[in-house]
């Protein structure tokens, strides 16, 4: 058997090196592609899970409630869209409360006088709730009625909603009892002028206020 010359061995090694590098490159490319695909899959599943999760714990009990705003320039909704109405408002944007809570006790704003709001073991708004609400916190007033003029500036009157309307209604007949007083006094001969000069108005703290 004729021994292989040094030149032949060198040539054989030179031919095998590109092949090894080619195979190694393919393996590395496959490894990198698998990592990228796996990361993309995890990111997609995480984003899908996040988008599917309710934005607020309120939906655990109130998922069937109708949208506050059914129409917008780009959408019409018959039911909440992942906790938002057609304008993108959520429950707590108006009512306040704890959006991260998943229980009624933690999510709802608690009244200062809880016994006054209970009837037959259940939460009930009294027929004459005005004097009781005047003793409650503004947070609880907002929770019951976001349109109450004591809190409207923080709810309806935000820059994205009804700013001008909220400012105007605070100085209108909706903020005092002058129309009722004036009509009753004039119609029953108690005051000779139709212009309202008697009424009552109260501020956010329940103290009497004057309207200009």
* DSSP of 158-212: STTS-HHHHHHHTTSGGGSSHHHHHHHHHHTTS-S-SS------B-TTS-B----
The verdict on residue 74 lying in a domain is yes
DSSP state of 100: T
Answer yes or no: are the C-beta atoms of 54 and 78 closer than 8 Å. no
Residue 60 in 3-state DSSP?
A: helix
* Same-domain pairing of 179 and 165: no
* Same-domain pairing of 166 and 124: yes
Q: Total structural domains in the chain?
A: 3
How far apart are the C-alpha atoms of 80 and 38, rounded to whole Å? 34
Answer yes or no: is pLDDT of 6 > 70: no
Would you place residue 44 in the very low, low, confident or very high pLDDT band (cuts 50, 70, 90)? very low
Residue from 155, 197, 204 nearest 175 by CA: 204
Range 155-182 average pLDDT: 87
Instruction: Name 81's bridge partners.
Output: 84
pLDDT digits (tens, 9 = 90+) for 128-144: 888 899 899 999 999 99
How far apart are the C-alpha atoms of 106 and 57, rounded to whole Å? 10
* Same-domain pairing of 88 and 118: no
Range 28-34 average pLDDT: 61
Answer yes or no: is pLDDT of 40 > 60: no
Residue from 74, 81, 93 nearest 156 by CA: 93
Phi, psi (deg, nearest 5) at residue 81: -105, 95
How far apart are the C-alpha atoms of 96 and 106, rounded to whole Å? 12
Among residues of the chain, what percentage have pLDDT more than 90? Answer: 44
Q: Look at residues 108, 126, 142 and tell me which one is the last residue of a structural domain.
A: 108
Domain that holds residue 139: 113-170
The verdict on residue 200 lying in a domain is yes
Query: Is pTM beyond 0.85 here?
Result: no
Would you place residue 162 in the very low, low, confident or very high pLDDT band (cuts 50, 70, 90)? very high
The verdict on residue 153 lying in a domain is yes
Residue 84 in 3-state DSSP?
A: strand
pLDDT at res. 42: 44
Answer yes or no: are the C-beta atoms of 151 and 138 closer than 8 Å. yes
The verdict on residue 190 lying in a domain is yes
Residue from 145, 163, 144 nearest 153 by CA: 163
* Same-domain pairing of 180 and 166: no
The verdict on residue 186 lying in a domain is yes
Q: How much is the CA Rg of the chain, to the nearest whole Å?
A: 35
The verdict on residue 85 lying in a domain is yes
The verdict on residue 22 lying in a domain is no
How far apart are the C-alpha atoms of 196 and 178, rounded to whole Å? 6
Q: Which residue has the tokens 């704003």?
A: 109
The verdict on residue 143 lying in a domain is yes
Range 119-127 average pLDDT: 91
* Same-domain pairing of 144 and 192: no
* Same-domain pairing of 103 and 125: no
Phi, psi (deg, nearest 5) at residue 204: -65, -30
């Amino acid at each position: 058997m004729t021994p292989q010359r040094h030149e032949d061995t060198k040539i054989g090694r030179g031919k095998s090196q590109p092949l090894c590098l080619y195979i190694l490159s393919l393996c590395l490319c496959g490894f990198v592609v698998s990592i990228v695909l796996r990361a993309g899959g995890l990111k997609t599943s995480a984003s899908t899970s996040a988008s599917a999760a309710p934005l607020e714990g309120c939906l655990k009990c109130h998922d069937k409630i109708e949208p506050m705003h059914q129409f917008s320039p780009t959408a019409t909704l018959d039911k909440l869209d992942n906790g938002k109405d057609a304008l993108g408002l959520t429950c707590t944007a108006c009512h306040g409360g704890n959006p991260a809570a998943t229980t009624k006790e933690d999510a709802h704003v608690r009244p200062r006088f809880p016994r006054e709001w209970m009837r037959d073991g259940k939460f009930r708004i009294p027929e004459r709730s005005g004097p009781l609400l005047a003793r409650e916190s503004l947070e609880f007033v907002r929770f019951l009625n976001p349109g109450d003029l004591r809190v409207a500036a923080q709810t309806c009157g935000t820059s994205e909603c009804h700013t001008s309307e909220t400012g105007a209604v605070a100085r209108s007949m909706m903020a005092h009892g002058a129309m009722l007083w004036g009509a009753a006094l004039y119609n029953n001969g108690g005051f000779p002028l139709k212009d309202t000069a008697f009424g009552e108005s109260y501020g956010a703290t329940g103290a009497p206020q004057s309207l200009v």
